[in-house]
Amino acid sequence: MHAAAAAGGTRAGVPHTAGMRQIEGLTATGIGHLHGGRWGAVRTGLAMLHSREAVVAGREGMVERAGSRPPDAEPLERALFAALYGDMGLRELAERPRVREAIGDVRRDLVRRGLVRPRWRRVLVPLALAVVPRLMLARLIDVIGASIGLAASVVLVGAACWFLPRRTVAGARALRQLRSLHPAPAGPGGTPATLGTAVALYGAQALLATMPVFARNSGLLDGGRWSVIHSDSSLRSSSAT
């Protein structure tokens, strides 16, 4: 689903601000990643596939194909469907190479939009800003005095904490805007796109309101499980990709 189109259809007269431009064309799985990281994106994609009647719950805590790949599915949905053989635990499914690649594409789009921080910045910058004050504190005290040296260290550590969140300020603002445009669902119904956006924004709350049986039986509510490999798994998988 494209967030900008949904926004225009949900609330007329919403000003087209810079924040709205950042979410223009954002997919439901992209919103899911923005809200809940990798698992949020996978959870959203599987919920959409289920709403399209493409996947169902298999054995406890697993999912399996129920039809052919939907032609209008998002790229991450297509990757999830193609990687699903037999009934499979959600954690194993999320670690399949093609799924990881698709999740990476979703994340890179969020980075390009300025909604989440690059991983290198979240790791290297805080590390440097947290370590350097310890090494320089004594020198700062010698040169500019104890009070100023300590204050400088506090500022640097505060800067390190600023870089720690996964979402940027713009990303947090985008989530607030999207939630204001898309209230939490009260029950089942709606298109795969609207259901996907609801799950992306509200997680378990939306799953329990829209598809409670599938959510419980598939493992979407508890973070998924690893599969136990069975020899007949490939025999029961669909040939569609």
Q: Over the stretch 23-80, which tens digit does the pLDDT of each residue have?
A: 889 999 999 999 999 999 999 999 999 999 999 998 888 999 998 999 999 999 999 9
145, pLDDT greater than 60: no
Looking at per-residue confidence, does 14 or 110 come out higher?
Answer: 110
- Say if residue 87 is exposed, middle or buried (CB neighbours under 10 Å; 0-12, 13-18, 19+): buried
241, pLDDT greater than 70: no
Query: 125 pLDDT band (50/70/90 cuts)?
Result: low
Residue 89's pLDDT is: 92
Contacts of 141 (CB under 8 A, 6+ apart): 149, 150
| Tokens at 159, concatenated | 């800067």
148, pLDDT greater than 90: no
Residue 6's pLDDT is: 46
pLDDT tens digits, one per residue of 164-206: 678 999 999 999 999 999 999 999 989 999 999 999 999 999 9
210, pLDDT greater than 60: yes
Contacts of 236 (CB under 8 A, 6+ apart): 64, 86, 87
Q: Please name the amino acid found at residue 36.
A: G
Helix (H) or strand (E) holding 62: strand 62-65
pLDDT tens digits, one per residue of 220-240: 998 777 765 443 333 333 333
d(CA 167, CA 35): 9
112, pLDDT greater than 50: yes
The answer to whether 207 touches 57, Cβ cutoff 8 Å, is no
Query: 137 pLDDT band (50/70/90 cuts)?
Result: low
- Count CB-CB contacts under 10 A for residue 65: 24
Between the alpha carbon of residue 38 and those of residues 4, 31, 102, 216, 230, the distances in Å are 22, 11, 10, 20, 27
* % of the chain beyond a pLDDT of 70: 66
| Average pLDDT estimate for 100-124 | 85
Top-ranked range on mean pLDDT: pick from 142-151, 211-220, 223-232: 211-220
Radius of gyration of the chain (CA): 22
| Average pLDDT estimate for 136-163 | 55
| Tokens at 133, concatenated | 């004050």
Half-sphere exposure (CA, 13 Å, Cβ side) for 163?
18
Between the alpha carbon of residue 203 and those of residues 73, 141, 171, 214, 226, the distances in Å are 20, 49, 17, 14, 21
The answer to whether 115 touches 168, Cβ cutoff 8 Å, is yes
Residue 132's pLDDT is: 52
d(CA 27, CA 47): 14
| Average pLDDT estimate for 112-127 | 71
Contacts of 90 (CB under 8 A, 6+ apart): 42, 46, 61, 62, 63, 218, 219, 220, 223, 224, 225
Residue 141's pLDDT is: 53
Query: 144 pLDDT band (50/70/90 cuts)?
Result: low
Residue 155's pLDDT is: 60
DSSP-derived letter for residue 129 is H
